[in-house]
């Protein structure tokens, strides 16, 4: 295993997936060791928005987890003290909207980000996404 830098580190989708699914024993152990080492050093661990979008797809489409299971994963990530998620407040709102409705997680996240960017509405052709508060069907 390569030595990890001393500064902040970002996690790739597949690192998080290994930690969640534990479907590859060696990769899971390596990821766990990295997190322990980062915590010991007080090192910041980060997750980008794109990684969350891909993670939702990997967990549902590839691993077969249902929405409730993915929601538990996302809530767990949000509650992890030593983890920084890009635009965390937007992600929290997106997770809540996704839990409450039938729109895709991606649409919920896009809407949350647009709101943070000052948009009055998100225009969409997606009928399910248009049901979100703050979205408008074209």
Which residue ranges make up each domain of the chain?
A: 9-86, 102-138
How much is the pLDDT for 50? 98
- Residue 45 pairs with which residues in a beta bridge? 9, 83
Quick count: other Cβ atoms within 10 Å of Cβ 106? Answer: 16
Please say whether the beta carbons of 60 and 53 come within 8 A.
Answer: no
How many CA atoms lie within 13 Å of 3's alpha carbon, on the beta-carbon side?
A: 3
List, for residues 30-87, the tens digit of each pLDDT value: 999 999 999 999 999 999 999 999 999 999 999 999 999 999 999 999 999 889 999 9
How much is the pLDDT for 42? 92
How many CA atoms lie within 13 Å of 38's alpha carbon, on the beta-carbon side?
A: 21
pLDDT-based confidence at 120, cuts 50/70/90? very high
Give the residue ranges of DSSP H helices in the chain.
13-21, 25-41, 49-57, 67-79, 88-100, 105-116, 127-130
Cα–Cα dist 30/32, whole Å = 5
What is the value of pTM for the model shown? Answer: 0.92
Cα–Cα dist 83/71, whole Å = 17
Share of the chain above pLDDT 90, in %: 93
Average per-residue pLDDT for the chain: 96
């Amino acid at each position: 295993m390569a030595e990890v830098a001393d500064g902040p580190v970002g996690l790739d989708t597949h690192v998080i997936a290994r930690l969640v699914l534990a479907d590859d024993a060696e990769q899971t152990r390596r990821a766990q060791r990295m997190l322990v080492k980062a915590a010991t050093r007080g090192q910041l661990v980060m997750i980008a928005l794109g990684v969350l979008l891909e993670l939702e797809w990997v967990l549902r489409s590839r691993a077969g987890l249902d929405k409730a299971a993915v929601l538990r994963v996302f809530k767990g990530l949000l509650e992890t003290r030593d983890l920084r998620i890009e635009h965390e407040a937007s992600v929290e709102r997106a997770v809540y909207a996704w839990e409450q409705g039938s729109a895709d997680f991606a649409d919920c996240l896009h809407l949350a980000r647009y709101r943070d960017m000052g948009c009055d509405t998100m225009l969409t052709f997606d009928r399910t996404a248009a049901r979100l508060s703050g979205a408008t069907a074209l």
